[in-house]
Each structure stands twice: as C-alpha cells, then as structure tokens.
Chains A and B, each alone.
Chain A
C-alpha cells in the first residue's frame, strides 16, 4: 500500500512551467529514478511528492490515498536531501531519532530502533559525534538513518550522492539499492547521473523541460530510446546520432566496429583508454562518432579507418521531431535479443 501515482501534475513559477502535466506511477516496493539534466523539473517533482511544494494542477496519491493537499508530515514519507539537512547542533543519535521525538515515541522503543538503524547504516560507534565531525560518507549515512528509522513505506531521495567522491558514490549506490530492497520501501530517487539511474532503478523517468521524455525500465531506455534526447542522455559515452540524408540514425558505440571493409569512412580524432576498453572518437562527414573497442586499442589519432555496424543495431529518429521511427521487424529482433 505504498505505490505513488502522479496524475497530470503541474507546477509553475510565474511563466516558467517547472513541471508540466506529468503522470507516472512508482509501483509498491520499487525504485523509481527521476533522471534529467539540471532544470528539467525532477527535483520539483520530488518536492511535489513530498509536499514541500503545492501542485497547481493534478493529483498525487500515495498508497491509493489522495495526498495532494496534505502536509509533508501527513504523507507518511521520509526524505534524504542533497545537502543531507542534518541538524548541526544535534548529535548523530539525536539527528536520527529527531522524528521519533517529535512523535513522542517511548524512550525504550526509541533506543531499540536507534540501535537497529545505527547497525544497518554502520554508525553505531559515532552516535555521540556532531555532524561537523563526520566525513561526507558518514553524514550521508546519518541522513539515511534518519530516513529509515521512521519506517515510512515511501522514501524520497534528492540527489543524495552528488556531494560524495566517485568511489564512495559507487559504494553508497549499491548500499542504498540493497537497503531499499531489504526494507521493501517504495523509493523515488532524483539524479542527473545516468549511471546511477541505470544501475539502481526498476523504472527510470527521464525528464526534460518539465515534461517526461521517456518512462521505462533501464533496459528500455537503453535499447529503445523513444527520442534522440534519451539516446543522447543514456550511456557512457551516449548513443551516436548521425545525420544521413534526411534520416537521423543512432548507433551505440559498442555496436560499431573498425573493419577494413566498413561502409563508412572516418578519421580518428582522439583515443581514450579506459583499461578494459577504449573509446575511439572519430569524425564521419564532419559529425562526431565514438566507437568502443575492447582492450587497449592501437588506433592512432589522424588515422583513416572504416566503420561498420549491423543494420539491426541502428535506431532511426525523425530529424524534425527527434522521435523514434518504429520499424517493427527490426524492433522485434532487438526485443528478443534484449530479453
């Protein structure tokens, strides 16, 4: 009883439509990622779900109950802020049990729940510290602890990892996902990092200018981008989009090969060696295209090469609307190979 449903929700700031007629559903116990570049309305959407902003239009339901006009407290949610929003003058323990104190939970239960949560987030030895005495990762854990001690069925996260370094981000990503699954929470997670979205989400909602660009599983977004925008946003490096005549063709870098008898002449601009693979940045008729090759590529910048890819790996977009052009035969083949 904790599915979240947004039904034609809008929110404007003056003339700016921050969230423009959005409808989506996060299934109970699933992790939904709101993904998009900055300013796309993903944080506003999250704040609308939290009740920190009031929707101009539309309805929001949590667990089947219409919460559109309810206060944040009445929505029975927990939230982790980008800044963590820890209370700097309170100890770690007091920060975590803040909500329990507000709700006058008995001392015995408070202590028991604090012990349990402190173990889960690995802070048992730091409970007396102040937030200023903790590292970034530890602060993040305090924020997590405060979110899960409430035992709310819904947890909202606003770019929780953006202040951490790359290694810690990777660790916490796994940890948050594991925690979400273990506790069976419904989680809405805002990020601008497509890697986070791809690795954590059950469902990704990609947003652009206050609207939903595509709503689907990570696989769908990767294998069947509905628009050129999605294609450009998902993947590292993202999908190559090449204009050929009056077609816009998309090909993933890993689907391109450098072969002597390839159909497309290209010139190598630069090579990035990542260890397990190499990204070769090429130029094809004045358009950039990147190619992913296994291992340590010997290709040199300035070299002329020929590229080839299978027709089945080609995605076609309408050059004017940038929407996906469906060609059913090919899609059927892709879907089976993806499954």
Chain B
C-alpha cells in the first residue's frame, strides 16, 4: 500500500477509502458484542454511580445530594458488619475450597478403580440447583432432628440451633459453600493436570525428586494459571452469595450472616431505598475492580503461562 500512496494521488485516495471501509467493517463486526456490553454492563455501572449521588423523593423527582449517601453508609453499622462478615466468609471459603479442589484433583487424576464415579461424586454439588442445596443443608442444620444434631445425639450431645446462633451461623455457611465449590474448582484443576506432560514427572523422578518435591517445584507452579483463575472465581462467588442466605438465614440472626450483596438486595427490595442500594453497589463494584486490577496488572506478569 505504501508504494501505491507514493505513486499517484488517485491510488492514494483509493487506499485511504479502503482503509476507511476496513474500519467500518471492523466496527460493524464488533457492534453486536459492543451493544450488549454497553447496554448491560457499562451503562448500568454509570447509571448506578450517578444514582448513588441522588435521592429519589416520593413523588419521583430526583434530588442531588452528592456524597451524602456515602457519609450515611460510613455511619451505617450494618454495612460495616456486612463487609466484615464478607471478609471472614471469603477467608473461610476461598483457601480451603481451593486446597480441597487441588487435593481432590490430584487424587482422581491417578489411574485407579472407580475414578469416573469419584469424579462424578465430587462434581455433583455443582450440578444441584442452589435452592435444593440450601434446603438440603437447612435440613442438616435443623435443631434436634437435623442430620448434624442426630449425629451429635449418638454421642450423647444435646441439640443446637446452628443457624440461629450468631457464633455458629457463619461457620455453617462456610462449610456449605466449601462443599459446593470445591468440586467445581476440582474440574479446572483436573483439566490443567491432564494438560501437563507426564514426561516432566518422570524427568523429575529420574533426578531423584520426591513426589512432594515434584509437586511443590513443578506441578504446583505449572498449575498457577488455574489457581489464579479459580481464586478470582472464588472471590467473586464469595461476594455473589445471595440465594442461600434468602432460604437459610435471611442474614440473621442479628445480621451475623449478612453479606454485602444480600444487604444490597435487602436495602433495594425490602426497604425500597434504591439510592442507598446504588451507593452500596458502587462499593461492591470498586472491590471487584480492585481484584481484577491486581489480577491483570500484577499476578499475570508473575505467573508462567504456557
């Protein structure tokens, strides 16, 4: 094209119009995806940020209040409670479910009898509908005649209101979510493990590396991309949990199991305070974008991708 441009003004114009058509074509091809992204992701984000700076009067008019909602939020003990709960919830679920997923994947990656059945069993919690899962665990935790208390009864221990006690309710939720997520994450680890060449293990074994040493220095570093992917998913999931709370605890008792998204849901649809809900949503958005930034800006550069 450069020779064209140099040769004559006519061909230069032709080249330029062709470049223009290329650009138009490219944009047209991008359009469907762009429309969906803008309509359902970018525009709602901007609308939410704007909405958090206004309050809506009963008659429907909007009044600009600036950072008032944010000041109210900073003074809202339930918001802080939800945030702290969310932190403990994330800390309780993420490392354990990832570690369990990895152990299970390494375990079922070997050649053994009933491997397919074992893989299926680990994956089942992921396939079950969330409402069903919540109800199953509701039964486990039911005081006196729930599965857990019946088990305790065998050892002569008394009944306990697992979900009704602020000191145990978060632990109960964490156990349930680990049960649900570990199998799902295992699938990713299993896929990654099967991508690894068995030659690497054999080369390490000839060098005299123990299985643990090989895992620590070879397998685990090569699984890092998967670990990162799974960890990001786990963090997002820990901020996304709503449905189980609605069925099992409604955030109670005394907000002991309120998580951020559940609080947003409550504020928006129970208290009908949409501008405060928008304010809380902005906080959630900022948290999630911070995690995304850490992933793309820092972790991706430190991890070996094949």
Contact = CB atoms under 8 A, between A and B. Distances in A.
Interface of A: 50-52, 71-73, 77-79, 81, 83, 85, 87-89, 98-99, 102-103, 130, 132, 146, 150
Given A87-B218, A88-B222, A102 B200 contact: no
A85 B199 contact: yes
B213 interface: yes
Contact of B200 (A71, A77, A87): A87
Interface string B181-214: 0000000000000000101101111111100010
A95 to B, nearest CB: 9
Contacts of A103: 208
B59 interface: no
Given A87-B218, A102-B213, A72 B306 contact: no
B208 A83 contact: no
Grouping DSSP codes into helix (H, G, I), strand (E, B) and loop, the A interface class, with mixed when no group exceeds half, is loop
Contacts of B95: none
Given A85-B199, A87-B200, A73 B208 contact: yes
A73 B205 contact: yes
Contacts of A98: 204, 207, 209, 217
A72 B206 CA distance: 5
B221 interface: yes
5 contacts: A50-B206, A81-B202, A87-B217, A88-B222, A132-B306
Contacts of B217: 87, 98
B152 interface: no
Interface string B276-300: 0000000000000000000000000
Contacts of B304: 88-89, 130
Contacts of B203: 79, 81, 85, 87, 146
Interface of B: 197, 199-200, 202-209, 213, 217-218, 221-222, 304, 306
A132 B221 CA distance: 16
A77 B200 CA distance: 16
A77 B221 contact: no
B164 to A, nearest CB: 49
B206 A89 contact: no
Contacts of A146: 203, 207
Given A87-B218, A88-B222, A102-B213, A150 B200 contact: no
Given A85-B199, A85-B200, A87-B200, A79 B206 contact: yes
A81 B199 CA distance: 7
Nearest to B304: A89
Smallest CB-CB A-B distances: 7 pairs: A99-B207, A73-B208, A89-B304, A85-B199, A85-B203, A72-B206, A102-B209
Given A88-B304, A88-B306, A89-B221, A72 B199 contact: no
Contacts of A132: 306
Contacts of B221: 89
A74 B67 CA distance: 70
Given A81-B199, A88-B306, A73 B213 contact: no
Contacts of A85: 197, 199-200, 202-203
A333 to B, nearest CB: 47
A328 to B, nearest CB: 47
B208 to A, nearest CB: 4
Given A85-B197, A88-B304, A78 B208 contact: no
A99 B202 contact: no
Nearest to A101: B217
A77 B203 CA distance: 11
A162 B218 CA distance: 25
A15 B213 CA distance: 36
Nearest to A84: B199
Contact of A73 (B200, B207, B218, B222): B207
B207 A77 contact: no
A81 B306 CA distance: 19
B106 to A, nearest CB: 18
